[in-house]
Structure 1
């Protein structure tokens, strides 16, 4: 083994107080396909020769789990992160710091998921707030970015209703406070935050607030937390200062029950003082936690990320973007910010179906039109067709979330098409809610990959269509030219246009911009 890997393994083992496990190799069977690891790698699935990924301190900026599943019914699980790679017909597990389990009891991908979920991340029988499912969500990020303020938030909410969109959950994003760790609205931008939230409630919205586990250094709160040793430390005296997208900050050490109690107390204070309904819990990526940091109890960076996930369990209205090993919980996940490009739009289906395979069933695709604000900078005009197709792609997923204001960036024609997607979702909402309730009990994914629902029919690499439950095949268009190939599995199908089609078969078509192709399995 190369010296660098040896040193890394020793460091990881020392963090976990465990014995370094030797490499394990699994022979890949003929026709067997493997999936799992990190949601942001979904477009790479199934795993191919030459692929590798190390889960230690790396969740890919999104959801992840120490789980790999195969189309032949096998799964691999470890309680701690590991590295995995494909070399020819061999799947290699290395740098494992906990025992690696290989289960071979199943026969297909659905079996592999079911067996893994029952043993390692069983459903808890609880739902997040169903308003996140039954109505569109609205996030102030793309419109306001770091200029979150009372007047513009109310203006955004009023515009939602004035343009014929239904009220739902409204999320106030980053930079509402004076600094990270101080839990009060900044007075220079929020004259009366409680009154603002009350007004939003009267308009029919529930209100969530962006938070993170970070604390700005050299502030009053920072000094208090440091004196109580509630922060992650560099050593026994000095705090760990982490680099993240907003600069450098200290971070809460949630291995310390007192730190968790302090933080949850501040969130409860925000609920009571400002009448908030829940929180968007951002950051918390395993990637941000130094492997050599000193914590109250020994923990990997991944475990620190998981503990951040536990905070949200106290609030029915919650949303996460980064998560580790919390499948089966009533936590809402959102796919990582996507750019305003067709390439990133095409990642939504493979990402959200992989999220389901890892147990993250209450997942929202990214913000409609894209949530990576850098791809909006310097644009005089957005690709209006992309916004429409993005809305269509989200419409029959577990949730749909707006941020960039469609009424601001779209023509009347294209705005009408986006509003039509909301109407389409309304027709399917009772079924989506039914699936969500069933998933809370059984853990079965709401959105399913084609291979999961129709094993052995040639869908192992299908990325352009998905199943909503076991009833509807959804095939949103994700190319500028509107062309697509829809592959129907065996059975009789009724299209959204009323045609009855027999599978297996392939439909080659050019889809009008105002259509979302859906095929109902009728036999």
Structure 2
């Protein structure tokens, strides 16, 4: 009881001390390292001199928070986006419209994160559907790209089962509908979508479909939404107010040019959500993959309204819609730390350079309050890197699966049984068997994260401060006890850094830290070690 009282007093004093500080620079303390901002730049943390980022209408295609966390227990928060530049011993801030809040409790990265999360994005005791953690996820994107169709989706699902893989969530990706803004399956590719989904359910899958906030400009729905003025309006280069604007704003994004639903209007949100619920009822869908909510797509001559000055709000409002569905996924999000949303890393290429980014991006996601995170699709989710590919790198696919196997979630898209020989396919299945052993542990960590905000996976600096792990970004901790060291380079060997204490390998061999050891790692092996209390 005394301990809780001390915490409360320090918490209040820290908050009152830091409330509303407005500044342009902050001094970096000797030996201090900074993390946070955006998931995509996880491979750049801790940030060094020369790093710069502008969060205004920019989340770098992934999740972000207006938050910096220090290895010395400090944090910096702003309610709105800002720009920052790291200099030798200073962080310089610009392009901010509201005050910063500086907090400090304790002297570690963990202290900084837990303090910030309690104040600015408290967890609510809820998590996404446990199936996202329990079984592998499957996405039709790499196999079908824009040719989503009933015949091949059923073939893909049956192949999953026939090749000995466990059913889980199956996501039907973009281009299943006639056009953006139409909430039904296109008849030319899906002669009986309801029957297809019922069959997928019988196989043991739950089904999600891809959706976006975009509307085709020349369709029945666009005319209706324009008449209601439930869409972003065009300022016509004259800074027009929304009420004075005459035509819709047309956004340029990766699939072309579209109108954008104005999510700051309740009626527009109700219209969209009603359509989603109609899809669920009509086709027996289970959830949605919410994509393309990036604020970068709204840059341009948007008529002034209550979000035009901060386009990140549109991304945040897009994130709110997914809270109605326990089966959800987001690739891009803003200020949704602490929420029961499944957040996936941005699409990675089919290359070793991008595989190296999985661990630091995932651990930075944890520090931003996004513990329910999924590494990208195994082997890569950026379909452009698969175009005209003569040969798949089979080692890369296996190492990607191993890296994902002890993370919160793992997701397949390219079919491993199609592109791998028996040796590499068996290695994938071995990683799935390992995950099966840890499934209960991972789900319990997810439940704990939902209550406390404690990461499911974390970098070593978070768990073992002041031991020189500030820049260690190629291994991670699963919970408090499991040290995971995947091979993330082409060479079948790696160094493993052991913190202080005792560690047991998979053969019950005891290792005493701190220590650095070199390992040769067979293609079907994933290095992991359990922390034990003592030599016994």
Does the TM-score normalized on the shorter chain lie above 0.5?
yes
Distance in 2 (CA, whole Å) between partners of 1:443 and 1:23 is: 29
Q: Do the aligned partners of 1:256 and 1:296 also contact (CA within 8 Å) in 2?
A: no
1:515 to 525, 528, 534: 525
1:451 to 438, 461, 472: 461
Q: Do the aligned partners of 1:232 and 1:295 also contact (CA within 8 Å) in 2?
A: no
Distance in 2 (CA, whole Å) between partners of 1:67 and 1:106 is: 17
Aligned to 1:225: 225
Query: Which one is further off, 447-456 or 23-32?
Result: 23-32
1:268 to 252, 257, 277: 277
Q: Do the aligned partners of 2:138 and 2:412 also contact (CA within 8 Å) in 1?
A: yes
1:311 to 299, 311, 321: 321
Aligned to 2:471: 461
The alpha carbon displacement at 1:291 in A equals: 6.1
* Deviation per residue, 1:175-221 (Å, 9 max, x gap): 00111000010000000001100000000000000000000111111
1:343 to 339, 344, 353: 353
Aligned to 1:386: 396
The alpha carbon displacement at 1:487 in A equals: 0.4
* Deviation per residue, 1:448-484 (Å, 9 max, x gap): 1110010100000011100001010000000111121
Distance in 2 (CA, whole Å) between partners of 1:464 and 1:290 is: 35
Aligned to 2:252: 243
Q: Do the aligned partners of 1:22 and 1:94 also contact (CA within 8 Å) in 2?
A: no
Aligned to 1:51: 51
Aligned to 1:95: 95
1:278 to 281, 287, 298: 287
The alpha carbon displacement at 1:296 in A equals: 5.2
Distance in 2 (CA, whole Å) between partners of 1:153 and 1:414 is: 24
The alpha carbon displacement at 1:497 in A equals: 2.9
Aligned to 2:134: 134
1:483 to 493, 511, 523: 493
Q: Is 2:493 aligned against 1:493?
A: no
The alpha carbon displacement at 1:292 in A equals: 4.8
Query: Which one is further off, 338-347 or 491-500?
Result: 491-500
Q: Do the aligned partners of 2:22 and 2:100 also contact (CA within 8 Å) in 1?
A: no
Matches within 5 A, 1:90-129: 90-129=90-129
Distance in 1 (CA, whole Å) between partners of 2:82 and 2:509 is: 48
The alpha carbon displacement at 1:92 in A equals: 1.2
Q: Do the aligned partners of 2:379 and 2:414 also contact (CA within 8 Å) in 1?
A: yes
Q: Do the aligned partners of 1:356 and 1:448 also contact (CA within 8 Å) in 2?
A: yes
Distance in 2 (CA, whole Å) between partners of 1:434 and 1:417 is: 26
Aligned to 1:179: 179
Q: Is 2:51 aligned against 1:77?
A: no
Distance in 2 (CA, whole Å) between partners of 1:224 and 1:131 is: 38
Q: Do the aligned partners of 1:255 and 1:295 also contact (CA within 8 Å) in 2?
A: no
* Deviation per residue, 1:294-328 (Å, 9 max, x gap): 36533511111000000000000000000000000
Partner SS, residue 201 of structure 2:
helix
Partner SS, residue 496 of structure 2:
strand
Q: Is 2:306 aligned against 1:297?
A: yes
TM-score by length of 2: 0.93
Distance in 1 (CA, whole Å) between partners of 2:342 and 2:353 is: 25
Aligned to 1:166: 166
Query: Which one is further off, 202-211 or 494-503?
Result: 494-503
The alpha carbon displacement at 1:498 in A equals: 2.2
CA gap 1:291/1:124 in 2 versus in 1, 3 angstroms? farther
Partner SS, residue 298 of structure 1:
coil
Distance in 1 (CA, whole Å) between partners of 2:210 and 2:409 is: 18
Q: Do the aligned partners of 1:345 and 1:390 also contact (CA within 8 Å) in 2?
A: yes
Equivalent pairs counted in the alignment come to 504
Runs of 4+ residues over 4 Å off in structure 1: none
Partner SS, residue 470 of structure 2:
coil
Partner SS, residue 263 of structure 2:
coil
Q: Is 2:379 aligned against 1:358?
A: no
Distance in 1 (CA, whole Å) between partners of 2:520 and 2:383 is: 31
Distance in 1 (CA, whole Å) between partners of 2:421 and 2:405 is: 20
Distance in 2 (CA, whole Å) between partners of 1:23 and 1:62 is: 27
Aligned to 2:6: none
Q: Do the aligned partners of 1:39 and 1:62 also contact (CA within 8 Å) in 2?
A: yes
CA gap 1:245/1:47 in 2 versus in 1, 3 angstroms? same
* Deviation per residue, 1:113-168 (Å, 9 max, x gap): 00000000000111110000000000000000000000000000000000000010
Partner SS, residue 512 of structure 1:
coil
* Deviation per residue, 1:492-511 (Å, 9 max, x gap): 00012321100000011221
Partner SS, residue 382 of structure 1:
coil
* Deviation per residue, 1:375-417 (Å, 9 max, x gap): 0000122000000000000000000000000000000111010
Partner SS, residue 487 of structure 1:
strand
